């Protein structure tokens, strides 16, 4: 549901009383264009921040607690401020907020009693990074006027995710939420933690299609993939002792020694190494305005996730196969962690209407589910908005 700042402030006042005027913060979700599961292998990723975002309204309070209401879940929790440093996860939405609060306390940022209202328009389980949007919006809100370097805010959000929520994810989602820019994709180097903005062709629409399925396998498979990549690195070190992560291996080097790597880690490594290379390739194609090449890279990336990384599923493969047959669609691929969520599609502007209606009819006919479509204009990163 699209949110407007005035509505959130109104909700905040209804919920917590009309005392002081809350401050309002926004942090976007993201859609990754290419470079999937490459971030924790210290390679490149290429996301854009979305208009769809999480909003956090915040005002000081006198009850000694951090009190948080989620509009989306319709539930509230509170914790005494002096207990935040020792807080434990409970396995629900509140972990994203509390994880960030705990990391701030542990980073030496004292928190004072306050009320927070969290409202997000980033669909959960969609691969569009709803969790990073909550984390980063919460971090900005709790920091208020206190300054922390933007990169440190992204890293703090990632720590909340890996050490509190318990998913050993890379830096992409929080980075994109902090550093998003209107009109541009962000080419992130996940080793040096630096980025370049890349403007995208104007005669191209980025359409995300939500399959509305999320197979449970997701978080355990994520852990497995992280471990398999480490196994691949260990096997590669037999031939190239200087290699520290899959980022250090070129495709040519890999092809010389791949026979020496056990079959499963070999396939995982092939995906990571090739998808990292596809990031600068996609950026170059975007700069050269080569839409056909951009589309080819999308499809190659999808095949790599489908067969080598094995993180796709029937619903997503169906959406990709159908999409790339529609005239005016340059390419399609799954985006995000995998096992459901969204595809991302490069579509000519005048083909968008047919794209939506054909894909909707086909997907409903096959799976009985009406997919959701999001027109993804690259948007700005997190900020205070009121």
Which residue in the set 157, 170, 180, 340 belongs to the binding site for ligand GLA (CB under 6 A)? 170
Beginning with the edge strand found earlier in the chain, give each strand of the sheet holding 329-334 in spatial order.
Answer: 329-334, 340-347, 205-214, 372-375
- Residue 169 binds ligand GLA (CB under 6 A): yes
Give yes or no for residue 37 binding ligand GLA (CB under 6 A): yes
Interface pick for ligand GLA out of 22, 43, 295, 336 (rule CB under 6 A): 336
Check binding of 228 to ligand GLA (CB under 6 A).
Answer: no
Catalytic residue, from 39, 95, 173, 308: name it: 173
Alpha-helical (H) ranges within the chain are 5-16, 94-106, 130-143, 150-159, 172-179, 218-237, 251-257, 263-287, 291-303, 314-323, 352-367
CA distance 300 to 244: 26
Decide whether 163 or 239 has the Cβ nearer to ligand GLA: 163
Residue 49 binds ligand GLA, judged by CB under 6 A:
no
Site stretch for ligand GLA (CB under 6 A), options 18-26, 169-177, 244-252, 349-357: 169-177
By CB under 6 A, is residue 343 in contact with ligand GLA? no
Active site residue 203: no
Nearer to ligand GLA, 170 or 265 (CB): 170
User: Contacts with ligand GLA in 71-130 (CB under 6 A)?
Assistant: 129
39 makes contact with ligand GLA (CB under 6 A): yes
Nearer to ligand GLA, 37 or 205 (CB): 37
For residue 231, the minimal CB distance to ligand GLA (Å) is 17
Contacts with ligand GLA by CB under 6 A: the residue count is 12
CA 171 to CA 227: how far, in whole Å?
17
Sheet with 65-70, edge to edge strand ranges:
75-80, 65-70, 114-120, 47-60, 23-32, 383-384
Kindly state whether residue 173 participates in binding ligand GLA, applying the rule CB under 6 A.
Answer: yes
Question: What number of other Cβ atoms are within 10 A of residue 352's Cβ?
Answer: 17
Q: Could you say which of 23, 36, 103, 315 contacts ligand GLA (CB under 6 A)? A: 36
Cβ distance to ligand GLA smaller for residue 40 or 69: 40
Contact 343, 316 (CB under 8 A): yes
Q: Is 304 in the site for ligand GLA (CB under 6 A)?
A: no
208 near 376, Cβ under 8 Å? Answer: yes
281 within 8 A of 331, measured Cβ to Cβ = no
Q: Strand 23-32 vs strand 47-60: parallel, antiparallel, or unpaired?
A: antiparallel
Catalytic residues: 173
Residues of the shown chain interacting with ligand GLA in the complex, contacts defined by CB under 6 A: 32, 36-37, 39-40, 129, 169-170, 172-173, 336-337
């Amino acid at each position: 549901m699209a949110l407007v700042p005035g509505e959130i402030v109104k909700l905040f006042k209804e919920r917590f009383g009309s005392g002081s005027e809350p401050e309002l913060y926004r942090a976007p979700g993201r859609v990754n264009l290419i470079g999937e599961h490459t971030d924790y292998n210290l390679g490149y990723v290429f996301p854009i921040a979305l208009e769809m975002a999480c909003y956090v309204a915040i005002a000081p309070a006198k009850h000694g607690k951090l009190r948080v209401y989620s509009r989306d879940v319709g539930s509230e929790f509170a914790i005494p401020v002096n207990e935040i440093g020792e807080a434990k996860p409970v396995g629900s939405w509140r972990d994203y907020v509390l994880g960030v609060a705990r990391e701030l306390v542990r980073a030496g940022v004292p928190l004072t009693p306050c009320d927070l209202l969290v409202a997000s328009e980033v669909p959960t389980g969609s691969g569009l990074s709803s969790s990073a949007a909550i984390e980063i919006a919460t971090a900005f809100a709790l920091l208020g006027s206190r300054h922390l370097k933007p990169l440190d805010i992204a890293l703090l959000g990632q720590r909340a995710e890996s050490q509190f929520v318990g998913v050993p994810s890379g830096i992409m989602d929080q980075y994109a939420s902090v550093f998003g820019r209107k009109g541009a994709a962000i080419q992130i180097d996940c080793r040096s933690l630096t980025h370049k903005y890349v403007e995208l062709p104007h005669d191209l629409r980025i359409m995300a299609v939500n399959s509305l399925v999320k197979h449970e396998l997701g978080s355990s498979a994520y852990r497995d993939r992280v471990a398999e990549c480490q196994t691949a690195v260990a096997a590669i070190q037999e031939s190239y002792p200087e290699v520290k992560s899959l980022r250090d291996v070129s495709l040519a080097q890999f092809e010389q020694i791949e026979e020496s790597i056990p079959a499963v880690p070999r396939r995982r490594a092939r995906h990571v190494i090739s998808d990292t290379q596809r990031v600068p390739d996609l950026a170059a194609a975007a700069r050269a305005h080569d839409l056909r090449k951009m589309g080819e890279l999308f499809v190659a990336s999808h095949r790599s996730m489908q067969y080598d990384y094995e993180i796709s599923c029937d619903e997503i493969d169906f959406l990709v196969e159908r999409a790339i047959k529609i005239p005016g669609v340059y390419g399609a691929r799954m985006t995000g962690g995998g096992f459901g969520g969204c595809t991302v599609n490069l579509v000519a502007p005048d083909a968008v209407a047919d794209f939506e209606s054909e894909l909707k009819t086909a997907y409903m006919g096959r799976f009985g589910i009406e997919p959701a479509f999001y027109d993804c204009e690259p948007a700005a990163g997190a900020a205070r908005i009121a």
